[in-house]
Structure 1
Amino acid sequence: MYLGLDLGTSGVKALLIDADQRILASATGALDVSRPHSGWSEQDAAAWIRATQEAVGALKASHGRDLAAVRGIGLSGQMHGATLLDAADQPLRPCILWNDTRSHEQAARLDADPRFREITGNIVFPGFTAPKLVWVKDNEPDIFGKVAKVLLPKDYLRLWLTGEHISEMSDSAGTAWLDVAQRRWSGELLAATGLDESHMPGLVEGTAPGGTLRGKLASEWGMGGGVVVAGGAGDNAASACGMGTVGHGHAFVSLGTSGVLFAATDAYLPNPASAVHTFCHALPDTWHQMGVILSATDSLNWLSGVTGKSAGDLTQQLGDDLKAPTGVTFLPYLSGERTPHNDAAIRGAFVGLGHQSGQKELTQAVVEGVTFALRDNLEALKAAGTTLDRVTAIGGGSRSRYWLKSIATALGVPVDLPADGDFGAAFGAARLGLIAATGADPVAVCTAPDTAETIEPDGGLADAYAEAYGRFRALYPAIKGVTP
């Protein structure tokens, strides 16, 4: 048996598979996010351990015999978080999360240093780890002076699981300290932020062993000795492993809290000017490109909170038949934006409201606004040299057929729906645990699920969508000039 642990923003998911990759059970431990100031987003590392214990404890209660047979564990995690540890491996402050934008000034300073884009192949975004450390250095110098190790969230979980300071390439590529082409830490970039390689964990590939489960935990969970913990992956690369998006040109669109358009590549193809992320993949000698928007289903959740209707009820009101845009446009920049704007200060807007604009029109505008932001990502990927022929849809938002039809029409490519099953980050992590424990061929393990259905672009609405996308594109520079 093999266990996948996915440390997300809202919870830790534990998923059990057998040697044939059949899913046996899953369980989740909940997490909360603290937002003490505008633009801040934090979590206590102790909460990750509590949530993991809760999730694995539920599996032990329901599938104790299967859990006892686990031989490999894979890790997936929310990226970019800054978990700062002292010399005794104790957290010095709450972890600064991926969607925290407080370090936008520090990010701009680092990005102005040409070495960062040259070595990492990426813009230094405010959500990345390196500018967070510079913010701590500028604003909490006593804490910065005590930092002995900087770990990404899933790698703090690994430290608890194994006692090892280890990370892997896909997650580390989102720190702004990794030489992404050479797949190693850059001493030059670390020095530019007041750190050195002693502050960093060791690096392994995502498919390689990255520690062994501590005997105390193995005994507590009813497992035997020698349980291998794989290097694992950042959440998007783990989802790609779960979806079989590991070969050149394979792509998925993820409608989760954030939105992602992800394409696997067999070469390092950076183009930081496009604001596309170019990261290492979890498999050796592979990379990936992705565009990222910060508020995908979060935009619909925001509208849900305002209207008092669930997100599912809101999208259900739209029906299944795609409609032409109404002229109401929504900009989904509720917490800034990454691709293509790299703008932490920008905020969202409704434009084109009239007396006839009701709840249904606002919902349609929110769906279209997120869709057009993903179209921005597609254009950025094209500028970086990646062309997509089709995408597979994953994430909670993919349950809305209307949304998927909107995406297919806006992107102009077919959208495949996988057959029933859980192919997300926890499943990808479990696959990595299997590979690390058995030495199996990663490509043979990370296969794509069957396609249950394909949603084609609606050619009859292509012109209307193109016109609405043009309005969407014109609004960012217009509101940027008036955003406080």
Structure 2
Amino acid sequence: MSYIGIDLGTSSIKAILVDDRQSVVAGTTRDLVVNRSAAQWSEQNPADWITATLAALQDLKQAAPSAFRVCRGIGLSGQMHGAVLLDEADRPLRPCMLWNDGRSSAECAEIEAAEPASRDITGNIAMPGFTAPKLLWVGRHEPDVFRRTRKVLLPKAYLRLVLTGEAIEEMSDASGTLWLDVGARDWSDRMLAATRLDRSHMPALVEGSQPAGRMRPDLSRELGFDAPPLFAGGAGDNAAGAVGLGAVEPGASFLSLGTSGVLWRTTAGFEPRADRAVHAFCHALPGLWHQMSVHLSAAASLNWWAMVTGSTEADLLAPLGETLERPSPVLFTPYLSGERTPHNDTQMRGGFARLGHDTGRNAMTQAVLEGVGFAFRDGKAALESAGSRIDEAIVIGGGSRSALWLSILANVLDMPLHRHAAGETGAAFGAARLARLACTGEDPREICRKPDGVPQIFRPKRDLVAAYADRYALWGKAAGFSRELQ
């Protein structure tokens, strides 16, 4: 038997086919496009997700036809917080407003005024990236769309709806809507009422490892499966990454260096710390929760710099090598889309500081990598204020391909980082594991183990740790300047 994991990301759809020994048989990526038609707007067309997903499934079929045919289950991982608004016929009424869409700041204050216990119920500050404020924005600026909305789904739930006909969501992704009572793992009627919605607008809830629909028979035949695969509840992208990395015991940590950046810690219970803009969400497995610091422009910062310079990321990084002797003389604040942890400010903006006539591209590129590292250091401090120290972490995400970047992060954060060969497929691999659990009912701790093989370890060096500590203090002044100039 085999299992498929599909990760609906911001920049691409990733899909992998895994056999019953948890070996990846085939994998593929299909790119997606983000539309930023106005300041602070970030949207995608849900139809593009469907096209890319079906193409990815065809890729897997072509790469490993025998294993594909006998696929027993599919797990979905998805970018969180997006708002897919559907009419009575389950048709999208507008483009999806994504997790990094920052237009609904005013609506966040409105939600917390309407429900003063919001932070206690949800474990989080109301932020524009979350789903609920987006609905109030639509209600104010697109009242006809709001009036016609019959169902609100997150991105991967919409993908599930198209593939199975079932409107179902799971706890980890639902935690990022501001409509979930995160401690009780159920929709909150009070939070729904604060946005003029009720339970009829919400999908059914399951745990990430539970069954959540089966592929439509007609689509299953068209794709060439022997029988319609069972879908698991799945997970939000970071929770899926945690499942893929085996971060399923309290205290387990990882760092995700993707489009956005995340520092994660698994917890045994619901442990909110909203005052530091730390997220407290459900894990994708029953009886577990997690905390996260979240940074909106991690690898996105390097991608932006490559676009500005008319270069590629690889060409920017190549002259720097894999190690460095000292911090860059230039400073960079990575607030291209504002920031969550610890600032919770969509108006913050990035920038370079301490430029001189002798400043070159290499110094600025290094500063971009370091600025993202300093933002992670802010997030690490916020997380540690909400619990014990974080002494090491596995690292995943597209940015983890860069040995130089991981070396910088290890020194800035003063902790070892472990890179495994399968780090880039963590979320899709976690989704495939959840598919297996939904099909077999096995013990999650037996299936969700840490990656096999010896990881490459990036260890901090004392001289660079000290140099970066000094640089971090100087960077903090530049970060404050970014905040003042909003």
Q: Percent identity?
A: 53
State the Cα deviation string for residues 308-339 of structure 1 (Å, max 9, x = none). 22112212222222332233210000111111
The answer to whether the 8 Å contact 1:9/1:78 transfers is yes
Matched, 1:141 2:143: yes
May I ask how many residue pairs the two structures share in their alignment? 483
Counterparts of 1:302-451 in structure 2, within 5 Å, are: 302-419=304-421, 423-449=425-451, 450-451=453-454
Alpha-carbon shift at residue 480 of structure 1 (Å): 2.2
Equivalent in the alignment of 1:15: 16
- 2: CA distance, partners of 1:192 / 1:23: 44
RMSD across aligned C-alpha pairs, in angstroms? Answer: 1.3
Q: Which residue of 2 aligns with 1:85?
A: 86
Amino acid at match of 2:328: T
Q: CA offsets per residue over residues 423-461 of structure 1, 9 Å max, x none?
A: 411111011001101111111111111332211111012
Q: Quote the Cα distance in structure 1 between the aligned partners of 2:477 and 2:271.
A: 29
- Partner letter of residue 233 of structure 2? G
Q: Deviations over 1:71-111 (max 9, x none)?
A: 11100001000000011111111111111111111123224
Which residue of structure 2 lines up, in the alignment, with residue 103 of structure 1?
104
Aligned-residue offset at 1:189:
0.6
Gaps of 5+ in 1: none
| Correspondence for 1:229 among 228, 231, 250 | 231
**Aligned partner of residue 72 in structure 1, secondary structure:** strand
The alpha-carbon deviation at position 396 of structure 1 amounts to 1.4
- Aligned residue for 2:212, secondary structure, equals strand
Change (3 A) 1:323 1:52: same
Matched, 1:460 2:466: no
Deviations 1:175-217 (A, max 9, x none): 0110000100000010010000110001000000011111011
1:482 is the counterpart of 2:485: yes
Deviations 1:325-370 (A, max 9, x none): 2332100001111111111011111111111111011011111100
Deviations 1:223-276 (A, max 9, x none): 133521000000010111111111111111111111111111112111100101
Q: Hey, what's the Cα distance between the residues in 2 that align with 1:189 and 1:368?
A: 39
Contact 1:328/1:365 (CA < 8 Å) preserved in 2?
yes
For residue 213 of structure 1, what is the aligned residue in structure 2?
A: 215
Distance 2:398 2:320 in 1: 17
**Are 1:28 and 1:54, in contact at CA under 8 Å, matched by a contact in 2?**
no
Shift of 1:114: 2.6
User: Which residue in the other structure is 1:37 paired with?
Assistant: 38
Which of 286, 290, 295 is residue 297 of structure 2 equivalent to?
A: 295
User: Separation in 2 of the partners of 1:302 and 1:227?
Assistant: 39
Partner of 1:284 in structure 2?
A: 286
Asked if 2 retains the 8 angstrom alpha-carbon contact of 1:210 and 1:228, the reply is yes
Equivalent-residue separation in structure 1 for 2:192 and 2:377 (angstroms): 34
Which of 451, 459, 473 matches 1:470? 473
In 1: Cα distance, 2:388 partner to 2:42 partner: 32
1:284-305 deviations in whole A, cap 9, x for unaligned?
0101111111111111111111
Shift of 1:474: 2.1
For the residues of structure 1 that align with 2:446 and 2:474, how far apart are their CA atoms?
45
| Residue pair 2:396, 2:423 contacting (<8 A) in 1 also | no
CA distance in 1: counterparts of 2:29 and 2:348, whole angstroms = 34
- C-alpha deviations, 1:6-31, integer Å up to 9, x for none? 11112222210011111000122222
Q: 1:313 to 1:458 in 2, by over 3 A?
A: same
Corresponding residue number in structure 2 for 1:24: 25
Separation in structure 2 between the aligned mates of residue 215 and residue 64 of structure 1, nearest angstrom:
19
Deviation at 1:221, TM superposition (A): 1.4
Amino acid at match of 1:131: P
Distance 1:103 1:204 in 2: 28
* Distance apart, 1:397 and its partner CA: 1.2
Paired residue secondary structure (1:9): coil
TM-score, structure 2 as length reference: 0.97
* Counterpart check, 1:267 vs 2:269: yes
Answer yes or no: is the 8 Å Cα contact 2:338–2:349 preserved in 1: yes
Contact kept? 1:2, 1:72, Cα under 8 Å: yes
What runs of 5+ residues in structure 2 fail to find an aligned partner? none
Distance 1:14 1:151 in 2: 21
In structure 2, what is the equivalent of residue 197 of structure 1?
199
Residues 1:169 and 2:202 are matched in the alignment: no
Match of 1:252, SS? strand
1:420 Cα deviation from its structure 2 partner? 5.2
User: Which secondary structure state, in structure 1, belongs to the residue aligned with residue 445 of structure 2?
Assistant: helix
Given that 2:186 and 2:205 are in contact with CA atoms closer than 8 Å, whether structure 1 keeps it comes out as: yes
Whole-angstrom CA distance in 2 between matches of 1:479 and 1:3: 43
Task: Measure, in 2, the Cα distance between the counterparts of 1:171 and 1:323.
Answer: 41
| Per-residue deviation, 1:422 | 5.3
